[in-house]
Chains A and B, each alone.
Chain A
Amino acid sequence: MPSHDVLIIGAGLAGQRAAVAAADAGVSVAILSKVHPVRSHSVSAAGGINAAISVTDDWRSHAYDTVKGSDFLGDQDAIEVMCSEAPDEVMHLEHIGVTFHRNDDGELDLRAFGGASIKRTAYVADITGQAILHVLYEQLMKYHETVDRYEEWFTTSLLIDEDGKCVGCVARDIRTGAMETFTAKNVILASGGAGQCYKPTTNALICTADGIAQAYHVGAPLMDMEMVQYHPTTLVENGFLITEGARGEGAHLLNADGDRFMEKYAPNKMELASRDVVSRAEQTEINEGRGVGEDGSGIYLDITVVPRKRVHEALREIVNIGKDFAGVDITSEPILIRPGQHYIMGGVKTDIDGATPVAGLYAAGEVACVSVHGGNRLGANSLLDTLIFGRRSGEHAARRAKTMSMPSTTDVQVRRDEQQIAAIIAREKEGRRISEIKDELGLVMNRSVAVYRDEAGLQEAHEVVTRLKEESLSAYVDDRGAVFNQDVLGAIELGYMLDAAECTVVAAIERKESRGAQFRTDFPERNDDDYMRHINTTKNGDAPHVSYTPVTITQWQPEERKY
């Protein structure tokens, strides 16, 4: 039975950064992931990473932009930590080998990004996430003697001892089907977001709310789950992401009349207003009949205004995506986009060291809610979030590990999980197919818990999710084998997604105001008196229990938000 000081679940940027940080602190580390680490969804992050490294910049400016971007729902102590530590973190990445692009003087080049008052986004072409993820994996290979890697292991549940402390997890070796108990002094959840609750989404198939649901099941509160980011530029065709870097490089948004409509909504920042603002503007244009494309459900993103040479050097990936997936040469014609689900600002509630209210359980990255993003995340702040709080979690967990002895665990839970999986495999072919339930969930979430929301739509979504939860219990699988049985894992993931979706809908119903990504057409104003608070959902029997926690304000009082 493997036992480690620090066990990390998920091997994207947050998880890998936590692993290296914990190993540097001299404790034993394991990192476990349901996919090979370089397949993690961090690989898709395109545009870059924010840090006030320019001599004309100041981390306080970055912090203020982030607070404003969050629509004053972000916790300012956490934002201060993230922004002040950002320059050192980016230099660290550069030192371990990330191939950040340079300016003509050989220094790190910076590009413009949404909601930022100055150019502060370091980048590697438009594969920044991939470049950082692969370099971190290089480090994991380098650290092979101090970090044990469990690649393609699927976590089925977290282990909680009698005192309520987290002491490990149960996981299944996907390759053999064998179940194992992992004992650990500390567990860091770094297993990403919940994008697959939506259809379409820019998120990968693996983003199925695993860590969010696992934490929820052991009593950890989920915070701000209603805050779901719609990215302004996703392909109408199939929901693929077109990086904000395109607008950072100067691309325009055009409606059916050929107007740069952002003039009306954000006269100062135009296309580079924060994402919730741009997505709402696009949706308004579409709803009011000024959309483009066959059914008027799209907006034109015009990249032809960016010099061709620059596009090929800095936006190569979207040249390929345009060509391969939309049939458009983006250097010579505009491409059809619309807002699409992209990120969840909410997640497992943590403090600035990544610690959740459950002792021994940490969370970092998209699975967590510190909260640095509040109601809306700025582009290029997510990579930063994963690295800063991944590192801090790793360091803090390592410190905690040094003060305690290895907990003892039994095989009760591994037997229970084993039986549950056997029961899923043994289900009669009477219920619905898993893919059917998943599709219905995705479509209702994208219809009713999207850019614009109202009570009726949210109530409908709630009813659908509740019904689907029931139906998922009898959904059957075809694969009866042990080796690489992805079918049965899909059934477990469906349960995770439904838990996360339920909390999202419940929190969205609870927040009767419009702030950041939550825009209620029935409550179109921000209401600081009643709702400048975090909404927490905690498992209470079979349904989420709602509670509130205050927003931490240090130096920036709420003000009207204009771009």
Chain B
Amino acid sequence: MADTRKPAQDFTLRIRRYDPESGEAPYWDEHTINLEPHRSVLEGILQARGRFDGSIGIRCSCKAAICGSCGVRVNGQAGLACHTHLDAALKSSRDGVIEVEPMGNMPIIKDLVVDMDAVHWKKIRRVTPWLLAQDPLPEREHIVPREAMVDVTQSMACIQCGACVSDCLSMEVDPLFVGPAALAKAYRFVGDPRDSQQFERLKDLAEDPHGMYDCTHCFKCIEACPKGVAPMNQIMRLRRRAGGDHHIEDRNNGFNHEHAFVKNIRRNGLLHENDLLTDSFGGKASPKAAMFLAKSLPVITRALLRRKATLKVALGHPHKAPKDVKRIFDVVEGRPERYDLNLYITGYDEEQSGAEEPNVGAIAGGGEDGQAIPSAPGASPKGAS
């Protein structure tokens, strides 16, 4: 929360500069500005530009975190310059100087201006980013559940600033990865009951080797997103819909693996790794499981040799799930509908105000989604209480 009572003070900004016409390498440029601590880094840059150097390049317009122009990295963390307070930036700085750099994963045009079109927008265009409604259209509006529209509003709230793209680790390794922003955009249609091509969209993104299964759950996009869109959560919801609702086989078997975990815990209470592998590939009798088992033999042998596993534990069934575990399953699976954690829907209960903090909620939600139970993934705080 911004503290608006403190007087103006000096802040030093170290801005990464690059002039493509100079033939020189990028360099750092320092300016000391004077503003109240709750003012934004963008206001600091604009003061430096207005008073000292009009040539500092940065896209900006609304100053209020809605136009999405001023995506930058402040002390290494991607976000909006207008949405980062000077006092917070000072606190996260390494040496008392606030470092502002252009976003990552995108080519730099000049100073803090990056080529969004070459990366971000190209990926957005990849996901057929428009509604494919049923034909014919209704005479008036589509009649859809109230919650459905509130639900897609979370991904609709994306302002296309590129902060998540900047910090996406998977994209750093695989530049072809469709990426967090575009996949969140895809969910905006997959989650929209008016769209008629949900299966096709999901199949497309599941089969693309750079599609929805290329995400490694690193949470970087959730941290970077200034609007609580929580792109990773949207990716997990895409997967859940692809595997759970549409039975689309995923490329790296993650969905079955998730199922195997649930089955395993239901039976054993504690994780029993021997079954996990075979169950993930369709059970002991499945040829796929045998193949994977054969492939995994060296790993298994090493584990046995290093006494990380014993034959007795590997072959026997040491655990049996206690009654309490069964009760948890009954409660969760007994729910009439699936709860998907969504920032726009959470915070219903007056006493649940903690869940309304966008970032806290987003990260907590990601955690739940990451280990989601297929029949009731990402239980809402309401459901959990």
Interfacial residues, chain A to chain B (CB-CB below 8 A):
35-36, 38-41, 43-44, 53, 91, 94-97, 99-109, 124-125, 127, 130-131, 134-135, 138-139, 141-142, 151, 175, 204-206, 237-238, 240-241, 308-309, 312-313, 316-317, 319-321, 323-327, 329, 331, 433-436, 477-487, 490
Contacts and interface: CB of A to CB of B under 8 A. Distances in A.
B64 A240 contact: yes
B129 A138 contact: yes
B54 A101 contact: no
24 contacts: A35-B59, A38-B68, A39-B69, A95-B137, A96-B130, A101-B150, A125-B153, A130-B157, A138-B130, A141-B130, A204-B62, A206-B61, A309-B350, A312-B356, A313-B344, A321-B65, A324-B83, A327-B3, A331-B353, A433-B54, A481-B19, A481-B21, A484-B110, A486-B54
A543 B4 CA distance: 43
Contact of B54 (A91, A237, A313, A434): A434
Interface in B308-352: 344-345, 347-348, 350
B59 A39 contact: yes
A92 to B, nearest CB: 9
B159 A130 contact: yes
A487 B55 contact: yes
Interface string B108-138: 0111010011000000110001110100011
Contacts of A99: 149, 152-153, 156, 192
Given A433-B51, A484-B110, 4 more contacts: A43-B62, A124-B153, A479-B54, A484-B111
Contact of A483 (B20, B117, B153): B20
B142 interface: yes
Contacts of A108: 141
A484 B117 CA distance: 15
Contacts, number: 198
Given A205-B61, A478-B53, A483-B20, A96 B131 contact: yes
Contacts of B4: 237, 326-327
B109 A483 contact: yes
B16 interface: no
Interface in B277-319: none
A101 B149 contact: yes
Contact of B146 (A103, A325, A326): A103
B354 interface: no
Contacts of B21: 481-483
A38 B64 contact: no
B248 interface: no
A433 to B, nearest CB: 7
A103 B111 CA distance: 47
A323 B57 CA distance: 29
B95 to A, nearest CB: 26
A204 B67 CA distance: 9
Contact of B141 (A100, A127, A433): A100
Interface residues of B, number: 70
A175 B57 contact: no
Contacts of A94: 141-142
A106 B347 contact: no
Contacts of B148: 102
A483 B50 CA distance: 19
B190 to A, nearest CB: 13
Contacts of A131: 153, 156
Given A477-B54, A487-B55, A44 B66 contact: yes
B61 A91 contact: no
Nearest to B3: A327
A264 B140 CA distance: 41
A102 B145 contact: yes
Contact of B57 (A103, A477, A486): A486
A320 B65 contact: yes
B66 A43 contact: yes
Contacts of B85: 324
Contacts of B83: 324
A316 B153 CA distance: 11
Contact of B144 (A96, A106, A320): A106
Contacts of A106: 143-146
Interface string B1-14: 11111000000000
A324 B65 contact: yes
Contact of A435 (B51, B111, B129, B350): B51
B166 interface: no
Q: Which of A130, A319, A487 has the most CB of B within 10 A?
A: A130
A49 to B, nearest CB: 13
**The 10 nearest A-B residue pairs measured at CB:** A435-B50, A97-B131, A479-B55, A478-B54, A487-B54, A106-B143, A327-B2, A138-B130, A204-B61, A484-B110
A404 B152 CA distance: 45
A382 to B, nearest CB: 16
A96 B110 CA distance: 36
A484 B143 contact: no
Contacts of B194: 97
